[in-house]
Structure 1
């Protein structure tokens, strides 16, 4: 027994439960919690370029395209409207456009949305209707009589943001700021030996400064809300590499505040309850931590050239590791460790399971085989 798919078009905003601007992490988390409605989800991406667009195929009816850098829902495509597995009902306001009993045709679109510019497809601000199954129009098709053209069956419905510029239709463009982003992190500016400054959507929201050795667990709760999970530290294997011969009194009692929805972890001292380390995640597809954390758009900030420099240099999460390495330590090769996060998962294989940990002054970078940074740790 297939579940029914009953969705409403909101031009320029979304389709059904999906809103343009939602993060990839949010959508996948929503799908994981509703396997009955969407039992088969395929994730497609370019393994050689983890910052390329990501496509979710919700078979057989939905394709969701996410932008490459910020992993925001860019375009929604509804197809195979008459496929009964599952049956689809498409609505607009109080009107049923398509259902198992109602085939959506060109004339039906015109009645619901009114006139629009001439073309092979019917395009309106924020939504367009295609009469081709795969999106490739037949340029050699002879012109049809007017009465036959009216009865053309709609094969695909595409929802995107309302165009405000000439490149708005570019699938590689980023999603403009919209309501679905409100409360999410716009940028996380990282400063070695200091901490991170979090800026949020919309820009009118106050920024949050988290400083190592100063910010407390209570400060985090007040500024960011309670964490999704509190994880008490049990894995101390890295202590074997510590240069200190004395035991850290917080080693066995420290705990993590996990903000999966922001892509950040904070290690808090067990006795001081002050932030000791900050871990920021890039949510790179194909890596073991993919989808555990939302992509946090971080940038490592360097020192300004002088006291009057208000635009200090930065390297962003989408920059390749070699550029970031040279930025942090020009001319020097940092110490490197090999990490395979699938070692403790029997039977789990991933194309990018092995990463390298590279240490810099106050910063550790975890780098994937694709030469992109999957996580930044400040201490």
Structure 2
């Protein structure tokens, strides 16, 4: 890949590389990369199809010689690796990490910086590094020279290594080759951070735009959403005090005051899924909220401005929200907060879901008739790799608080565990076993007909099994994996879960 000095990436040890900042969300990184297809023509995403929320997600940029590693639960950038120095120009304090190649000199993946250049010119003296013996019968081991926040790996002849050697003299000799890779991480040294890289709290926010910003100039990012039942939802923020949303009471003006204007406003008039509400005629148990067999329209699963159950675009309207005036909204709509990981349904007040049995909260009272639009539903997106709406929202993490001390059900909990716990919690609220089975029956939701997934990344590994075992393949900008994109919907009072075949919760609607 041809590069120019103008496109050189600056190294910031412990912080990032160029625009890539440690702690950035996977959604933010992919969005930035996809916005520059000429610079990043190939984007490969590797993930675990069985444990996508536990195992790291890896983004590879083969044309740029980069590999990015994100933790699974929070999807935040933890490690930046340069694997091919010939495909990217790197600078540190205005010095080139690899001196420019001479005209006609071939570019190879071995064109990394020498130990002498790193040690004497770029980063200066350091403590002795870590020697890793060779695997199998290779004559070369690896010497890792580590500085705070950055490390280099050099091939070293195993026959030359000894614990008593002068490492500077040895690494400056012909026994050592130029560096083959570089890592940028958060920590004092590579050996120290290696075991906690994916679990320690990131120093920088998910969005680099928030670095150095005040609360007045930019809305704080949401770290976690706590669901307390009875329409009470608590939003925990990075640096600001938490704020609460009370369904059918919180107004659009309140949302804008706390979070700023939404990224988009989405209006949808299609109500064909309302037919399933007809099956609910005899339901009386605490006004059991819709399992998929009853009142599915009350959650309106079609909650994203770019995510439609059907392909009838005439039923949809997407509006920019930069100059939104919440006091002048004329009809029901969704406020899409893509960078916060959730959507809010703005509608006329309804009775929220009941309190969790055993909690200290009372059941909500039916609201008085009002023409005031309020927030009646919150949709939290999991951004699960392999799911149909992947990368439309950044990942939203949540916890269901069944009582004041219990926080065991989280966005990473397999749905089988969540379902078992909620079934036991609500066991006494059904009139009979038949009603219980009917209300907890899953309903298949097809997200694959119509538009294909709007993602220009290549998935390495299985496309979610619900798409018929297809693989997401092709270079950036190509479509692949034309499966159905089916998920299942499961309902409990006040909660609706959209679940993938691997048990991961792709979306949670609270109403």
TM range (shorter): 0.7 to 0.9
TM-score under structure 1 normalisation?
0.86
1:321 aligns with 2:422: no
Greater radius of gyration (CA)? 2
Alpha-carbon shift at residue 233 of structure 1 (Å): 2.1
Cα deviation 1:326-370 (Å, max 9, x = unaligned): 222226651321011002236863678211100101111001000
1:267 aligns with 2:345: yes
The aligned residue for residue 486 of structure 2 is 354
The aligned residue for residue 30 of structure 2 is 28
**Structure with higher strand content:** 1
Alpha-carbon shift at residue 54 of structure 1 (Å): 0.6
Which range moves more in the overlay, 330-339 or 167-176? 167-176
Superposed, 1:89-238 pairs within 5 Å as 89-101=89-101, 104-111=113-120, 112-113=122-123, 114-119=125-130, 120-132=143-155, 140-143=158-161, 146=170, 147-149=172-174, 152-163=177-188, 168-170=193-195, 173-181=198-206, 183-202=220-239, 205-238=240-273
Alpha-carbon shift at residue 278 of structure 1 (Å): 1.0
- Over 3 Å counting, the alpha-carbon distance change for 1:116 and 1:167 in structure 2 is closer
The aligned residue for residue 337 of structure 1 is 443
Higher RCO (CA-CA < 8 Å; seq separation 6+): 2
The aligned residue for residue 58 of structure 1 is 61
TM-score under structure 2 normalisation?
0.65
Cα deviation 1:43-99 (Å, max 9, x = unaligned): 111111111111111113100000111001000001211x3xx4x321111322214
Q: What number of residue pairs does the alignment pair up?
A: 360
The aligned residue for residue 258 of structure 1 is 336
Superposed, 1:5-44 pairs within 5 Å as 5-44=7-46
Alpha-carbon shift at residue 3 of structure 1 (Å): 4.1
Q: Using the alignment, how far apart are the partners of 2:236 and 2:482 within structure 1?
A: 33
* Contact 1:107-1:150 at 8 Å conserved across structures: no
1:292 aligns with 2:389: no
- Over 3 Å counting, the alpha-carbon distance change for 1:100 and 1:223 in structure 2 is same
**Structure with higher helix content:** 2
Cα deviation 1:115-155 (Å, max 9, x = unaligned): 322431111111100124xxxx77x4444984525863111
* Contact 1:184-1:201 at 8 Å conserved across structures: yes
Unaligned runs of 5+ in 1: 305-310
Q: Using the alignment, how far apart are the partners of 1:174 and 1:223 within structure 2?
A: 29
- Over 3 Å counting, the alpha-carbon distance change for 1:369 and 1:141 in structure 2 is farther
